[in-house]
Structure 1
Amino acid sequence: MEILTPAVIDPCCGTGVLTVAAEDYGYQEVLAMDLYDWGFEGRSGIDWLKVSRGELPARFQTDDFTVLMNPPFSLACEFVDQARVLGARKIVCFQRQAWRESQDRRTWWEDNPPARTWVCGDRAHTWLFHIPPEDRKGGRFMPSAWFVWERGHKGAEIGGAIWKDRRAA
């Protein structure tokens, strides 16, 4: 379990899964936003990739916030870059493991190694949330991981596996 800063931004909150999880863990300053309105109480119509620091609420205009996100796969690098531009102290990004495998992203990964990578030992059961529950047939289990960047991290990347039953590997 990563310890987040007191202030947390979920820039692509979708239906609010990560926002609610952060709040359930006791984080009280959680800012949810998304480009689209997926029915969650976060602010919609906000394009994270175009947000400037001055557009964020005052509490998030410091260098002491975490970006907790599950961005669109095709834009994940850009979402991490934007979190850095805005001054995030910590970035925690949930993605398919395939995100790290592409030759197209190789240079980006070499220039932006995470401090930690936590592989999900149990494959995540993921669905694009625009697919209604009644239309979700069969399984969609993806090998996924949490990628963590932390300002000031020095040294080798740390990794491990996490499991739903909370046993670390």
Structure 2
Amino acid sequence: MTVRTARAADAGAVARIANAVIRDTLITFTTDLRQPEDIARQIAARAPRFLVAERDGQVVGHATYGPFRTGPGYAHTAEHSIQLDERARGQGLGRALMARLEAVARDDGIHVLVAGISGANAGGIGFHARLGFAEVGRMPQVGRKAGQWLDLVLMQKILSPRPQAVPDTATASG
């Protein structure tokens, strides 16, 4: 298995994985299928923040991050997404993708990664918890798909430690 930066040529495989998740699950609230040309543009705009996992020469998963919210105060917070082909789940590929994505994010100056997870996706919530993400909020019934109201679970992981306070030497006795 290899984790690498995505290329435009990966857009079709990424679309296949994403569209299966959109069509067949409640993992994402969207019902709009992804088009390879749109994904190719996203890959170009986010490189090197768009990664794929390959197994036996086939793309079997992808992960990326982008802005959490607009405005300069949020510049060090990003929201990520990760999706795996159904047959690739439970084999450590998601962990490998996230380890690399977190390293890229740290290098990019990201302090906090946020995950917005469907409340119907117990596997995704557990996966993120095992990686050190903490649930920080739950928004009941904010999504709707397949005739169901769905909760949005917000999880976050702080990637860089909080700076230690430096004693004020001007007031320290000595």
Higher strand fraction: Structure 1 or Structure 2? 2
TM, length-normalised to structure 1: 0.37
Q: Over alpha carbons, which structure has the higher Rg?
A: 2
Higher helix fraction: Structure 1 or Structure 2? 2
